[in-house]
């Protein structure tokens, strides 16, 4: 829905071109940067976008500048430079508040919320979403629904955050957000996102209990979902949540069924090539193998996932780096329990943990460890945070 909203507002669709977007596309520096991004040469595109920002500033064109800041923030975030992205997002918000039109202001606020979520800063994300909604009374229903979802995501996807001031999940039931959202497809996706967040908000530290009720509609239609299904991404999340839930309850057969269904759905969305989604689902299968005490199968799955995540295009992006770090930590735990010819594999386990530490700053790795160790849904929460951000990130480069 976010892509559709901003495509209309900012000119990605030919029917309603935005003068700011069209003017930006005419700049040779930006045009060259777009070509480099298309070739996955993000690092080479960064200085060209920086030059574009200078040109926009000299032209005194705040609308163009907001969009150029969006491009710059995306590039730094995709390179894993989260501090730089946050700094750019704050500058973008300042420019947007200085005179850019409402769609650009909305785009800037959305980017700031998602940046905080990616940084695992739930409180700051909720505050940024609240500040946007409180400051505007004439927000259209789709935009309001998206920012209300952002507030709920900050509460539902972080352990213990729901009790924090200003971070309550709010009333459940899709009617609270979907009412007034048009066309119907956007309403369906908003409702699917809400169902995932409603479920995660109900999950306690044990992961047991009847918490899957909000996902009933998504799970029932999972077998029919495909590339044309607007809610396919949310169905994938629902299947992963269900797999973890059944695993926590000790029902490995049901967990394996859900994990395998998630893997099939992820592969159907990108046939012929591995994606971070499909590899995340393969890791769910590995968790089931661990629970079944099939250590050799689990080891093979972990090694395969680790190698393939590291080889993905965009492997330096936060979602991929976090997924790789968590896979390495889990693999290290598995190796600690294994032996070869009676010899413990603790040295191998420690080497794997050193690999994980080399990928992250110490603080980031500690935050990931804390979430992973919070319960059976800990590492899944990290993955869902990145998935959520991807659902609502505006595809300026597409």
Please confirm whether the linkage preceding 183 is cis (ω < 30° from 0).
yes
d(CA 309, CA 108): 30
Q: Residues 331, 302: contact at Cβ < 8 Å?
A: yes
Contacts of 250 (CB under 8 A, 6+ apart): none
In the chain, beta strands by DSSP E: 339-340, 343-344
d(CA 118, CA 46): 20
d(CA 368, CA 18): 40
Contacts of 24 (CB under 8 A, 6+ apart): 30, 52, 56, 64, 67, 68
CA 21 to chain centroid, in Å, comes to 26
Contacts of 78 (CB under 8 A, 6+ apart): 42, 314, 316, 317
Q: What are the backbone angles phi and psi of residue 196, rounded to the nearest 5°?
A: -60, -45
- Give the predicted TM-score (pTM) of the model: 0.89
- Identify the pLDDT of residue 396: 57
The DSSP letter of residue 94 is: H
- Identify the pLDDT of residue 393: 82
User: Which residues of the chain are modeled with pLDDT < 70?
Assistant: 1-18, 98-102, 159-184, 204-209, 223-227, 395-398
- Identify the pLDDT of residue 310: 96
Q: What are the backbone angles phi and psi of residue 131, rounded to the nearest 5°?
A: -60, -40
Contacts of 340 (CB under 8 A, 6+ apart): none
- Identify the pLDDT of residue 273: 92
Q: Which residue has the tokens 């200078």?
A: 54
- Identify the pLDDT of residue 179: 57
- 100-143 pLDDT tens trace: 546 778 889 999 999 999 999 999 999 999 998 887 777 777 78
């Amino acid at each position: 829905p976010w892509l559709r909203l901003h495509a209309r507002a900012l000119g990605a669709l030919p029917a309603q071109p935005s003068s700011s977007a069209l003017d930006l596309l005419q700049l040779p520096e930006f045009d060259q940067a777009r070509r480099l991004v298309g070739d996955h040469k993000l690092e080479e595109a960064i200085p060209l976008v920086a030059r574009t920002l200078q040109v926009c500033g000299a032209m005194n064109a705040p609308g163009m500048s907001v969009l150029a800041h969006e491009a710059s923030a995306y590039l730094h975030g995709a390179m894993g430079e989260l501090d730089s992205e946050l700094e750019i997002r704050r500058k973008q918000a300042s420019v947007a508040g200085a005179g850019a039109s409402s769609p650009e202001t909305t785009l800037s606020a959305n980017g700031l919320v998602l940046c905080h979520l990616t940084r695992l800063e739930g409180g700051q994300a909720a505050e940024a979403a609240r500040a946007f909604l409180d400051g505007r009374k004439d927000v259209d229903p789709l935009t309001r629904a998206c920012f209300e979802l952002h507030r709920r995501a900050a509460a539902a996807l972080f352990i213990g955050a729901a009790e924090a001031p200003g971070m309550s999940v709010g009333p459940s039931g899709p009617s609270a957000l979907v009412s007034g959202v048009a066309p119907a497809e956007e309403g369906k996706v908003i409702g699917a996102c809400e169902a995932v967040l409603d479920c995660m908000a109900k999950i306690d530290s044990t992961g047991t209990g009847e918490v899957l009720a909000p996902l009933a509609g998504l799970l029932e239609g999972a077998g029919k979902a495909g590339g044309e299904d607007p809610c396919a991404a949310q169905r994938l999340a629902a299947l992963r949540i269900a797999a973890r839930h059944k695993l926590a309850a000790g029902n490995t057969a049901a967990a394996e069924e859900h994990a395998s269904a998630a893997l099939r759905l992820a592969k159907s969305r990108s046939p012929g090539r591995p994606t971070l989604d499909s590899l995340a689902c393969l890791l769910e299968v590995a968790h089931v193998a661990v629970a079944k005490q099939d250590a050799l199968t689990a080891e093979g799955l972990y090694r395969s996932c680790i190698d393939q995540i590291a080889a993905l295009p965009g492997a330096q992006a936060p979602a991929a780096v976090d997924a790789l770090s968590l896979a390495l930590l889990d693999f290290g735990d598995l190796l600690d329990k294994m032996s070869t010819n009676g010899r413990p594999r603790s040295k191998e386990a420690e080497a794997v943990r050193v690999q994980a530490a080399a990928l992250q700053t110490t603080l980031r790795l500690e935050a990931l460890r804390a979430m992973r160790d919070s319960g059976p849904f800990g590492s899944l929460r990290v993955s869902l945070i990145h998935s959520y951000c991807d659902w609502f990130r505006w595809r300026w480069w597409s």
